Amino acid sequence: MIRTLITCLLCLCLLPLFSQDSGISFTVELDEVTYEDWPGLHSFSFAEWDDYWVFVGGRRNGLHGFFAVTGFPESEANDELWVMDKQTGLYWSYPVSGFPDEWRDFLRGTNPQYVQLGQYLYIIGGYGKDNVSGDFVTFDEMLAIDLSILVPAVIAGTSPITAFRSMRDDRFKVCGGEMHELGEYLYLVGGHDFNGLYNQLGNPTYTQEYTSEIRKFKIVDDGDLLSIEDYTAMANPEFHRRDLSLTNAVFEDGSLGLAAFGGVFKPDADAAYLNPIYIAEDHIEIDASYDQKMSQYTCPVLPFFDETNQIQYYLFFGGISLHYWDEAAEALVEDPLMPFIDEITAFVRYPGGSSEEFVLSAKFDELLGSNAKFIPVSETPSYGNGVVKYDELSGRTLLGYIYGGIRAAIPNITPSSASNRLFEVYVTTPVATDDRAKGDEWVKVFPNPSNGKLSIQTSPDFVPNNACLVDVTGGVVAQFFQKGAVLLDAIESAWSSLPNGIYFLKLADDRQVISHRLVKGR
């Protein structure tokens, strides 16, 4: 099935700190390409080999139950190794039931940490039923899977058991964290050691201990033996998180890093973490200046970097959120129950460290995204860590896919199921008209410099419906959503009350953005 689900135009008022004619306007579009007979999965490990997708572990039902007997029913654990061809819809599976006990139970676990390094998928920890002890546990194991053996074996219907090797270490007893590669190291961010039967009432059916750490280490693998080295654990109360989102990043100085968003729960309250964490190779920054509004739980994240303007973008697709967008009131509404949402949002970090979030007019057609996976396409212009090079996008570009996750029926206390829906994610950059000649032809702003009064004239070829004024720190000081002459009058009125300084005016219609550098005061 192929159908266009969502199309939207996002005209973000992103201000040039160093370049007068900077501006970004792009569309986000999801085309559904679901194969109806694919399984519904979430909270799995993922890898890609020879254009085949590999899914290991996770769950085949929806959100966990809230009582001990319904929390994580063993019958709903994913007990198949899945290989899928996104181009043809063909898929193959192999049951883990015949594997040795220590691998069988581990491979049925949920919410592990994982990373693909070349031909190997490394899976650490996760939560599930240990049939040797009879208990639900967080596993203390790391499993290495040779994808070059696994994929052809599963497709052929033969045992892939020779693809597996493992080692045990108490430092692997983590579930609900996230793990990525940065430089020569792996970074395992957050998570907890959870043992027993989950229940929401706090009854004594389980024990748990958050790591409250970012763990940094190297995997040593000679193709036979596994070990880790150069292990460091960095502790901080802000790292007391699980079920967060971790994505690759490019920082304003061009260095590669990681960005961690959201996560739960605080030691003294059932509350989400709001301050983003930015991880560089030589330091970690907790941004206490900004509280993230949307998508606090694990969901697909698509990172961009605009090298020209040194602006970071992170697109969040649905999930579970502290806020949702009230269309009638045209406002964010806080919900401490943290509902499932259908919104797609853009988290923007400007040069200097200030941040904003924008709710896109686009959204899913149901409550999706939680514990789903964004899978980038290899043809995307990107940095070495996979962050999209926004400056090199041109026209309509397929950037990746979103697969799986939890599908909720209503926002709170809801029936849910595992989704098998598959979406292509496109970004389209509009025709660039930010060059100075075109801007001067279509938009005239005078006097400039101005002591207080400002006049704006536009050509009939350009009727703006979205504008903003930004100061030299990158902060948006005023936004406008009127159209035509009403919009221009609102800008001129707001200008009169601004303090003296340098500002950037961004005017957008449905196709393009035009920028002007303005000076107030002489």
Quick: pLDDT tens for 90-145: 999 999 998 998 899 999 999 999 999 999 999 999 999 999 999 999 999 999 99
Residue 27 has pLDDT above 60, yes or no: yes
The pLDDT confidence band at residue 19, using thresholds 50, 70 and 90, is very low
Q: Are 515 and 437 in contact (CB under 8 A)?
A: no
pLDDT at 16 over 60: no
The pLDDT value recorded for residue 21 is 26
Chain segment 425-440, per-residue pLDDT in tens: 998 765 444 444 455 6
Distance from the Cα of residue 395 to its chain's centroid: 23
In this predicted structure, the answer to whether residue 481 has a pLDDT above a threshold of 80 is: yes
Question: Tens digits of per-residue pLDDT, 489-506?
Answer: 999 999 988 998 878 888
Q: What is the pLDDT of residues 161-215, one digit of tens each?
A: 999 999 999 999 999 999 999 999 999 999 999 999 998 888 899 999 999 999 9
The pLDDT of 370-385, averaged and rounded, is 96
What pLDDT does residue 474 have?
Answer: 61
The answer to whether 501 touches 520, Cβ cutoff 8 Å, is: yes
Instruction: Tell me what pLDDT residue 10 has.
Output: 34
What stretch(es) of the chain map to CATH 2.60.40.3080? 436-520
* Structure tokens that stand for 436 in this block: 């100075």
Of 5, 4, 117, 125, the residue nearest 57 (C-alpha): 125
- Closest by alpha carbon to 62, among 298, 370, 412, 294? 370
pTM (two decimals): 0.82
CA–CA distance, 232 with 501 (Å, rounded to integer): 46
Percent of the chain at pLDDT > 90 equals 68
Predicted local distance difference test score (pLDDT) of residue 437: 47
CATH class of 436-520: mainly beta
Strand order, beta sheet including 388-389: 355-363, 340-349, 311-320, 301-306, 388-389
